[in-house]
């Protein structure tokens, strides 16, 4: 397989990476260094939903699949970029916003909600993002979509008033991905999206190094 282009869809993980309010703050420090020990090792402390990450169904479902139990096919597939860059802070992404892309959104596809919000990373506005309405989520689930990624902090409203998207997706053992970026650089058809989680046993999510690949 000839790879023509790779787009990095992941935000950097540093001690300043934005987190969902209340989540553990990432901390990175030196544990060993070449001058003292002859080698370099870093100590990293972060939550399971730090940076660009995926949510396992167990995140919202007591009996949902843990991250190590989810089928890896759910983290790899052709992506469909849904352009919703015209949305404002706290505005819902509704049916009319996805209608033009419905013919492409079916079983095995990965829905990529391109809000453009990653450009606000590091500012307070990043926390006031658009969100995906329950009607849209239910429609795409009915069409066989099980993987939903967004270039914003959260698929649900920024004020925490409801977690309807999380509830709906995880109830069918689907996968949610948040804090993605660079969707605007996917300028080729049928991008292969790869966002594999670490093999954490029994956990509710994992950071990923996500990419879009042109073949």
pLDDT in tens, 100-116: 999 999 999 999 999 99
List the one residue out of 192, 199, 208 whose CA is nearest residue 108.
Answer: 192
- How distant, in Å, are the alpha carbons of 38, 62, 145 from that of 57? 42, 8, 15
Report DSSP letters for 56-82, one per residue: -GGGT-TTSPPTTTS-GGGGEEEEEEE
Q: Is 127 helix (H, G, I), strand (E, B) or coil?
A: helix
List the one residue out of 47, 80, 18, 59 whose CA is nearest residue 207.
Answer: 47
Phi, psi dihedral angles at 41 (to 5 degrees): -140, 140
Percentage with pLDDT > 90 across the chain: 99
Output the six-digit token pair for 5: 């282009």
pLDDT for res 199: 97
Residue 196 buriedness (CB in 10 A; 0-12 / 13-18 / 19+):
middle
Domain ranges of the chain: 5-19+48-214
Q: Could you read off the pLDDT of 41-81 as tens digits, one per residue? A: 999 999 999 999 999 999 999 999 999 999 999 999 999 99
Q: Is 122 helix (H, G, I), strand (E, B) or coil?
A: coil
Q: Where are the alpha helices (DSSP H) in 2-158?
A: 34-37, 95-98, 134-142
Q: Which CATH superfamily is domain 5-19+48-214 in?
A: Putative cyclase (3.50.30.50)
Low pLDDT (below 50) residues in the chain? none
pLDDT for res 1: 74
pLDDT for res 51: 98
């Amino acid at each position: 397989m000839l790879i023509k282009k790779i787009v990095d869809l992941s935000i950097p993980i540093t001690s300043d990476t934005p987190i969902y309010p209340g989540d553990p703050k990432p901390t990175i420090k030196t544990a060993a260094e070449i001058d003292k020990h002859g080698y370099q090792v870093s100590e990293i402390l972060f939550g399971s939903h730090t940076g660009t990450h995926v949510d396992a169904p167990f995140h919202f479902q007591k009996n949902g699949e843990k991250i190590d139990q989810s089928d890896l096919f759910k983290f790899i597939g052709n992506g469909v970029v849904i352009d919703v860059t015209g949305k404002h802070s706290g505005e819902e992404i509704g049916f009319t916003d996805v209608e033009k892309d419905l013919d492409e959104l079916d079983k095995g596809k990965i829905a990529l909600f391109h809000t453009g919000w990653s450009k606000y990373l590091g500012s307070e506005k990043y926390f006031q993002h658009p969100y995906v309405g329950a009607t849209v989520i239910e429609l795409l689930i009915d069409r066989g979509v099980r993987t939903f990624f967004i270039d914003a902090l959260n698929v649900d409203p920024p004020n925490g008033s409801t977690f309807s998207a999380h509830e709906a997706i995880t109830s069918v053992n689907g996968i949610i991905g948040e804090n993605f970026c660079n969707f605007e650089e996917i300028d080729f058809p049928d991008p292969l999206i790869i966002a594999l989680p670490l093999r954490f046993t029994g956990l509710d999510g994992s950071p990923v190094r996500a990419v879009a690949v042109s073949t």
